[in-house]
Structure 1
Amino acid sequence: MGTITEKMAYPSWWYRGSRPSSDDQYFEILCRIIFQTGLNWVIVEKKWSTIKLAFCNFGINEIASFTDRDVKRLLVNKGVIRNQYKIQAIIENAKIFRQIAKTYGSFQAYLDGFDKSNNYAKVVKALADTFERIGPTTATLYLLIVGEDIKPKRIY
């Protein structure tokens, strides 16, 4: 990924050194990328502890149970990124994530079940087609951050 100087230009959470150890950690990274998209990463970094608290530490089951009342609560919370589309996508993605984990045993098992040849093309497409507010570029970044051996077309 580059030299230490190059790494300093990116958020520290991008450099995990290992795969996440739970589905909730995989989900939190997905959510962070959704919040990150279109914003300077410093903004998200400054608000992250408040965002994490407001979203129940990114517990998949808790977020999958959020209602319209929770969306309204989040939209008035000045400590979070108050983008209704991103908030609703995170709730919907929690439901999808929960179903994937139930079907495959874990999200890691789901990822491991893919043909990863051709630089993860099938995985990137599946993630972009499955999750809301995730496209090919953000899917590639996600795979990189969660420790998959994907070769980005460019350094993010």
Structure 2
Amino acid sequence: MSYCEYIPSMAEPRRSLHKNYHDNHYGYPIHDDNELFGRLIMEINQAGLSWETILKKEASFRKAYDNFNIATVAAYSEHDRERLLNDPGIIRNRLKINAAIENAKTILQLQLEYGSFEKWLEHYHPKTKEEWVKLFKKTFKFTGGEIVNEFLMSIGYLRGAHSDSCPIHQEILKVKPKWLIAKEPKNI
């Protein structure tokens, strides 16, 4: 059963939480680098947990990671790492926290080289899931197959966020997600 078909069977308040994400965020292109970084943080933190856990903690993630400001997170000190490890509002996992900080530093470098995180993604589009995973593993920390797949589906780079019969799928087609736009794949 797809995410689209599963949400109506959920009881409240779970249904509203998931429906908001499904209807307003999942699969829609993101053009703000800080928001792209935030989605990557959330996908990394979901590893081994339910997406519902992450959705419930989104506001806490925003607060803890300075509204996903890439430059601010890249400059985090050891004190900030400890603060995050002691923050009950987020996932307190040292590897995931370190990945957020190191990935922020990487994104700053990508911004210098490509102009933005989004332009880096555009530069390599399109790729298969396997090619994207290879690129992300080479570039970022804590980015396995499912994390990369969900991140890219959630921002419109890979198809599959919604079933073709889902009304939101039709809305997403109107904003032309990257998976809809074909061009020649670029090698890593």
TM-score by length of 2: 0.71
Give the residue type in structure 1 aligned to 2:142: R
Segment of structure 1 superposing worse, 10-19 or 88-97:
10-19
Cα distance, 1:120 vs. partner? Answer: 4.7
CA RMSD of aligned residues (A): 2.4
Unaligned runs of 5+ residues in structure 1 are none
Segment of structure 1 superposing worse, 42-51 or 81-90:
42-51
Which protein is bigger by CA-based radius of gyration? 2
Greater than 3 Å deviation, 4+ residue runs: 1-4, 6-17, 149-152
How far apart, in 2, do the equivalents of 1:146 and 1:82 lie? Answer: 25
Q: Which whole-Å deviations, capped at 9, do the CAs of 1:110-144 have from their partners, x for residues lacking one?
A: 11112525x25433311122111101221122111
Is contact 1:115–1:122 with CA below 8 Å preserved after alignment? no
2:180 is aligned to: none
Q: Which whole-Å deviations, capped at 9, do the CAs of 1:33-74 have from their partners, x for residues lacking one?
A: 011110122222222211210110110000000010001111
Is contact 1:116–1:122 with CA below 8 Å preserved after alignment? no
Among 119, 140, 152, which residue is 1:143 paired with? 152
Cα distance, 1:89 vs. partner? Answer: 0.8
How far apart, in 2, do the equivalents of 1:98 and 1:123 lie? Answer: 20
TM-score by length of 1: 0.84
2:55 is aligned to: 45
Give the residue type in structure 2 aligned to 1:49: A
Unaligned runs of 5+ residues in structure 2 are 162-188
Among 21, 29, 43, which residue is 2:39 paired with? 29
Counting matched residue pairs gives 151
Give the residue type in structure 2 aligned to 1:33: E
2:6 is aligned to: 6
Among 121, 126, 132, which residue is 2:135 paired with? 126
How far apart, in 1, do the equivalents of 2:85 and 2:140 lie? Answer: 21
1:91 is aligned to: 101
